[in-house]
Structure formats: C-alpha cells, structure tokens
C-alpha cells in the first residue's frame, strides 16, 4: 500500500480500532527493501476490547 507519511497515524489508528480501542501503540521496527521502493513497519499495540 502506498500511503503518504502525513496520513500514516490516522490510517494506523483506524486499523487498530478494528480490533479494539488502542491504549498505547508504538512503531517498533522499520525495514526498507534494498531498492528503496517500499518500507515495512512493525507495530506493537495494547488494545482494550
């Protein structure tokens, strides 16, 4: 998915809210492919259901 950085937070919170209310969350890893075409974020979250 191609998402501008300024939309990342809102998109991420929307995804988390599908599973519950986010109490806290953090980006814990950032990996880029060697060609620089994409970036993979790892997110850890605590949710309230």
Look at residue 17 in the predicted model and tell me its pLDDT.
98
Three-state SS for the chain is CCCCHHHHHHHHHHHHHCCCEEEEEEEEEEEECCCCCCEEEEEEEEEEC
pLDDT per residue as tens digits for the range 10-40: 999 999 999 999 999 999 999 998 988 889 9
Q: Answer yes or no: is pLDDT of 1 > 80.
A: no
Q: How far apart are CA 26 and CA 33, in angstroms?
A: 21
Whole-Å CA distances, 14 to 18, 24, 40: 7, 14, 18
Look at residue 2 in the predicted model and tell me its pLDDT.
81
């Amino acid at each position: 998915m191609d998402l501008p950085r300024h939309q990342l937070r809102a998109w991420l919170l929307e995804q988390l809210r599908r599973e519950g209310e986010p109490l806290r969350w953090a980006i814990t890893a950032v990996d880029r492919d060697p060609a620089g075409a994409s970036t993979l974020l790892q997110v850890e979250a605590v949710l309230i259901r």
